[in-house]
Chain A
């Protein structure tokens, strides 16, 4: 069967096939429809003066907006870094044989996945109500101990007003990072479980510790499963930073754009500006995700298909 399709070795190469290609009338119809719709949309964008493009361009790059962009980026990066690191810890706890550890991790995940981020943001913004003052370095029963020894020990290194400790930024960051950790824990757990158990055995048989096995063998392989959904999480986080406006954090991108809009009674152009800003920032994230995915496909069939030898320098 296979032999028939293979040309028998003969010197003259048969001429290239010239056949009439299959027509795709449906495809052409679709192109026509899409072209018309696109033209209508562009026409609307250009001619409808409610868009006020020149107002948008004048106002979308003001210094306070740029500061808002930086706040949004900082919140995204920090919340994701904390979320990923804490998520890894939670995932390892969850997979541990210790029922206390895995129970605590389960509870944490349950709580932070159940409560909406918007609610968390407002909740963390109002934390100051719980404690007016935080005692840092407070020793429990310090007073009683002091009584015993006949000296007056306060045991408190210094006190902080809750509102200074939990600035809006910190409260917003915590709300986002802690909730992200819950989602990341599930993603990391799926990644760890995707790695062949034979890998852990081989590492154990070589005398590697559990930590070394996790850090050097399991997690790098789990990354191939972890990175794509983490990219999604990062993009979702970028957009969810707009929720900290409710903490309230006022120097964040969306709040600033809206403020301009309300102040000048030009709400709509500023909403369009928000779309454009988020599109730009997300595009950068996508580029970053591409390179991270490429790095962790090292040694996999997909990695080889692209002819990749990423991470070679580690050998030398």
Chain B
């Protein structure tokens, strides 16, 4: 579906850095992970992830099922707590406050405030089924940011138009195809004006003929300068839109480089094995 048309120019202009706190480390990076470890009980899922994402970068993450890709994304917006290491988003330490060499857990409210900077798109869309597409998009800006309804509505309609669904504003999720639902989900995340967007296999649950529209919406977003981390098996998208490609296996980053380097000339045997299966 997503024919890898020859990449025109993979470098996306670096977008303006978000609001930064001068004292914090890694202020010039959108995401910085340092030795991130995460276990579920005895199972160590992330075994020391080191990664950096610049503002405006589109990073694609590939790897076999169970390698910890989803868990890493969920750590970035603190849906999971990390066990050790450090994780910064937009200059803020995720989930903790560091003061006097000590870490303090953030309150629920502070965690929620951090998550507003991060949009997340799920494999199974997770739209709110009791709300129309428009209501799905308007919910968080109205309830969380407490913005006036009229303005939110106009912006929501504009976002729907941007993902090509201006005629579906009043449809409930159950009345939409998977591809349409996923595009509403993207619009819903964008409505909070995040500095960073996380995509967890956004097209894996879709029928093949619906994948293209979603990838197109994501490509537009990338061209607009959004910082994105995309877990995907769509190598065409990675090659065309991605600035960097990360191969994860068994909870570790095995290889990282530009998509062209990694796809054309993988350095590690594990990467080669994996790519030979998906390409």
Contacts and interface: CB of A to CB of B under 8 A. Distances in A.
Interface string A276-316: 00000000000000000000101111011000010010110
Interface stretch (A45-53, A173-181, A206-214): A206-214
Contacts of A202: 120, 122, 126-128, 185
A228 to B, nearest CB: 17
A206 B135 contact: no
A300 B129 CA distance: 7
A203 B143 CA distance: 11
A309 B132 CA distance: 10
Contact of A315 (B132, B173, B189): B132
Interface of B is mostly: mixed
Most chain A CB inside 10 Å of its own CB: which residue of B128, B130, B174, B188: B130
Contact of A204 (B112, B139, B172): B112
A221 interface: yes
Given A198-B122, A201-B126, A314-B135, A209 B172 contact: no
Contacts of A312: 170
Contact of A216 (B77, B109, B139): B139
Contacts, number: 85
Interface residues of A, number: 29
A196 interface: yes
Interface of A: 196, 198-199, 201-210, 212, 216-217, 220-221, 296, 298-301, 303-304, 309, 312, 314-315
8 contacts: A205-B115, A205-B118, A206-B144, A207-B113, A207-B140, A299-B172, A300-B130, A315-B134
Nearest 8 interchain pairs by C-beta: A202-B126, A207-B116, A206-B140, A299-B172, A205-B120, A198-B126, A299-B130, A207-B115
Interface of B: 77, 79, 108-109, 112-113, 115-116, 118-120, 122, 124, 126-132, 134-135, 139-140, 143-144, 170, 172-175, 185, 188-189, 192
